[in-house]
Structures are given as structure tokens and as C-alpha cells.
């Protein structure tokens, strides 16, 4: 014990686990509040129930395990808020609570606990809810008499959405609570990069892959202008930014090697484009990231950094 405390280094970066979780909550808040402003007070209820259920579940597990974990590290609150942000505002509150409890108890804690779980808890919980209650997860309520279809519903039919990219950027559209305001999500991402909570590698690789593939993949009867517009709509609609900034960067379910992180981010982007264009759901972010989660460990093993003083291939 003493030896560990006396060991160098004797100073430490101020970025602790708890500070990181606080930073993620701070970064999520603008997008969450923008969603609530657009969708109404019920969004706050969904967020509150989800966070409370996640914290309650974490407290329960920690009490049962009786060793070194505590809901006060903030990770459960992050999981709860992230889950709420992936849900439509009309989701029944008991389903939200069920999802949050599943995320924390089964996916996170039974998956090894903080830092060890292989799958992103919030996304795994969303996937479960989509399976159990497809009606409440894929229904987006009408807004001010506007069509209830989200931009992605139209794009699933290979049509450009009714909204312009600018409207999508500003959140003038329908969707899950946290995915509405692209500009708030981007601001949150910039904050996390500035605070060095995440490196820009993963989100840039993911967003870049989606941009490149949606430009390159052929679409019937498209001019350059509409191709660009199509790409922008792909980037700004649905859960892409929420996923690329807050889900793909999840520490425990993503690779730790710098090269592995870039490859993993690009893989997520590729899978998102694939699932959006072939699946029965218009959205593909959830499943794309969960599939990539399963491959993260494998990617890391292939991307171990080159040993100092040794050429690639082992020559000194």
C-alpha cells in the first residue's frame, strides 16, 4: 500500500474519472435541453427517469458487490442520460426505467463493471427496447402539425428529407430527444475534445467514413448538388452525431490503441451507412456500433503500436 502511494509520478493530471463523467454530462446537456425545448417537458421526464433508474441500479449493484464501486463516479448518470437521448419523447416512462436498469445491471456491471464491459450500455439497452417495444421506440410524435416522419424515414426511401441541411443542423426536425440539435451535439463534441476527454480521432473517422460512403455510393438520378445535399443530410440526421461523438467514443467498448481507434471509428461509419441503406429500420447507428463493439478487442490486437527502435515486421 505504502509502496504504491510513494511511487512516482508524484503529480497527477486533474482529469479524474469523476471529472470525465461530469464533462460528458456537461457536453450532453445542450443537446438534451435543445431536444426538450423542441419536444416539450416530457423529454425532461424521460431524462430524469432514465438517470434516476440508472443511478438506482448502480447503487443496488454496488451495495450487493460491496467493493470499490459507487454511483458517485458519475458513470451511471452518463449511461442514463445517454439512453434517454436515444429515445423518442413519447416512450413510456416504465420502459425507460427498464432500459436504464438493463443498461447498468446487465450490460455494464455484469459485463465486468466500469471500464470492462464490451458493449455500450445505453445502446444495448436501446436495442433491447427496440426489440421488446418496437411501437414505442420507432414512433415519433407529430410536431406542430408537421409530418411525424423523421428525416431518415424519408431517406430510407432514397428521397431527400423535407428539411434542408440547415434546418437539420439547427434541430428543426423530428427525432429522438438527443439527436435533434446537430449544432448542440457538435458543440458538446468540441467541448470534450477541448477538455481532452476524447480524442478527435474516433468521431472524425466515423463521420468521415459516413460522408465518404454516402457521396460515393451510387444513388439513382443524382446530380452533384443533390449528392452533396444527400451527404449532409446523412450526417445531420438521425443519431449519427450523437453516436459518433458520444457512443463510438465510449472508453470501455472501443479500442485503446490510436490506430485501432481510427479504424474502429471508420468501421462504425461504414456499418452505419450499410445498415441505413439495407436494414428494415431507417436508422442504423445503434446496431452498427454494437457490432463494432464486438470487434473492438480484435482491432486492438491487430493495431498494437510499433515497438520503439524496431521496424514494423520486427527488424531492429
Partner 1 sequence: MKKRFFGGIHPDGRKELSAASALRSLSPKLAILPMQQHIGAPCRPLVRVGEDVLRGQRIGDGEGLCVPVHASVSGRVVAVEPRPHPSGREINAVVIENDRLDRAVPCRENHLPTEQLEPQDILRAIREAGIVGMGGAAFPGDAKALGALGRIDCLIANACECEPYITADDALLRRFPDQVLQGMAILKQCLKPQRAVLAVEDNKAEAIARLQAKMTEDDAAELLVLPARYPQGSERQLILAVTGRELAPGSLPADAGCAVFNVSTFAAIYRAVRLGLPLTQRIVTVSGEAIRRPQNLLVRIGTPLSELIALAGGLTEENARVHSGGPMMGLLQKDLSAPVVKAVNCVLCLPEEKKSAAAPVCLRCGKCVEVCPMRLMPLELYRSERSGDLNALRSLNPFDCIECGCCAYVCPGALPLVEHIRRGKRSLKEGVQK
Q: Which residues bind partner 1 (CB under 8 A)?
A: 3-13, 15-20, 67-70, 73, 113-116, 199, 251-252, 254-258, 261, 304-310, 316
Cell representation of residue 240:
449519427
Q: How far is the CB of 234 from partner 1 (least distance, A)?
A: 28
CB neighbour list of residue 9: distance below 8 Å, 6 or more residues apart: none
Residue with cell 428494415: 280
Q: How far is the CB of 205 from partner 1 (least distance, A)?
A: 14
Using the minimum distance from each CB to partner 1, give the nearer residue, 139 or 196: 196
Using the minimum distance from each CB to partner 1, give the nearer residue, 117 or 181: 117
d(CA 132, CA 200) in angstroms, rounded, equals 35
Using the minimum distance from each CB to partner 1, give the nearer residue, 92 or 297: 297
Q: How far is the CB of 197 from partner 1 (least distance, A)?
A: 9
Four-residue CA torsion sign, 275, 103, 173, 184? negative
Q: What is 192-232 written as a DSSP string?
A: HHHTTSS-THHHHHHHHHHHHHHHHS--TT--HHHHHHHHH
Q: How far is the CB of 8 from partner 1 (least distance, A)?
A: 5
Report residue 143: phi and psi, to 5°.
-115, 120
Residue with cell 446530380: 223
Using the minimum distance from each CB to partner 1, give the nearer residue, 237 or 252: 252
Burial tier of 150 (Cβ tally within 10 Å: 0-12, 13-18, 19+): buried
Is there a contact between 24 and 188 (Cβ–Cβ < 8 Å)?
Answer: no
Using the minimum distance from each CB to partner 1, give the nearer residue, 66 or 225: 66
Q: How far is the CB of 297 from partner 1 (least distance, A)?
A: 10
Cell representation of residue 126:
436501446
Peptide bond before 275: cis, by omega within 30 degrees of 0? no
Half-sphere exposure of 44 (CA within 13 A, CB side): 6
Q: Which residues pair with 169 in a beta bridge?
A: none
Using the minimum distance from each CB to partner 1, give the nearer residue, 218 or 309: 309
d(CA 45, CA 53) in angstroms, rounded, equals 12
Q: How far is the CB of 275 from partner 1 (least distance, A)?
A: 25
d(CA 80, CA 25) in angstroms, rounded, equals 10
Find the radius of gyration of the CA atoms of the chain.
Answer: 20
Using the minimum distance from each CB to partner 1, give the nearer residue, 132 or 256: 256
Q: How far is the CB of 230 from partner 1 (least distance, A)?
A: 34
Q: How far is the CB of 63 from partner 1 (least distance, A)?
A: 15
Using the minimum distance from each CB to partner 1, give the nearer residue, 224 or 316: 316
Amino acid at each position: 500500500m505504502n509502496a504504491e502511494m510513494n511511487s512516482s509520478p508524484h503529480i497527477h493530471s486533474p482529469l479524474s474519472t469523476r471529472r470525465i463523467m461530469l464533462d460528458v454530462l456537461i457536453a450532453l446537456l445542450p443537446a438534451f435541453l435543445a431536444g426538450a425545448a423542441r419536444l416539450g417537458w416530457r423529454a425532461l421526464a424521460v431524462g430524469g427517469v432514465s438517470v434516476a433508474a440508472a443511478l438506482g441500479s448502480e447503487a443496488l449493484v454496488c451495495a450487493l458487490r460491496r467493493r470499490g464501486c459507487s454511483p458517485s463516479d458519475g458513470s451511471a448518470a452518463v449511461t442514463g442520460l445517454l439512453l434517454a437521448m436515444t429515445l423518442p419523447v413519447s416512450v413510456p416512462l416504465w420502459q425507460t426505467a427498464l432500459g436504464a436498469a438493463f443498461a447498468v445491471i446487465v450490460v455494464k456491471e455484469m459485463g465486468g463493471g466500469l471500464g470492462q464491459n464490451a458493449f455500450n450500455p445505453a445502446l444495448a439497452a436501446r436495442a433491447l427496447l427496440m426489440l421488446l417495444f418496437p411501437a414505442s421506440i420507432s414512433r415519433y410524435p407529430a410536431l406542430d402539425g408537421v409530418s411525424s416522419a423523421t428525416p431518415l424515414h424519408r431517406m430510407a426511401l432514397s428521397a431527400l428529407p423535407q428539411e434542408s441541411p440547415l434546418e437539420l443542423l439547427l434541430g428543426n426536425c423530428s427525432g429522438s430527444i438527443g439527436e435533434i440539435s446537430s449544432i448542440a451535439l457538435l458543440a458538446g463534441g468540441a467541448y470534450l475534445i477541448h477538455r481532452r476527454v476524447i480524442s478527435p480521432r474516433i468521431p472524425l473517422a466515423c463521420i468521415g467514413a459516413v460522408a465518404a460512403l454516402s457521396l460515393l455510393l451510387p444513388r439513382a438520378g443524382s446530380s452533384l448538388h443533390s449528392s452533396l445535399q444527400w451527404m449532409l443530410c446523412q450526417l445531420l440526421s438521425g443519431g449519427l452525431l450523437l453516436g459518433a461523438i458520444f457512443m463510438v467514443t465510449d472508453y470501455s467498448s472501443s479500442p485503446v490503441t490510436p490506430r485501432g481507434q481510427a479504424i474502429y471509428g471508420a468501421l462504425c461509419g461504414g456499418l452505419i451507412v450499410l445498415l441505413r441503406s439495407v436494414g428494415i429500420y431507417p436508422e442504423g447507428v445503434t446496431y452498427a456500433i454494437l457490432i463494432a463493439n464486438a470487434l473492438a478487442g480484435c482491432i486492438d490486437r491487430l493495431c498494437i503500436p510499433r515497438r520503439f527502435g524496431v521496424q514494423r515486421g520486427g527488424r531492429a
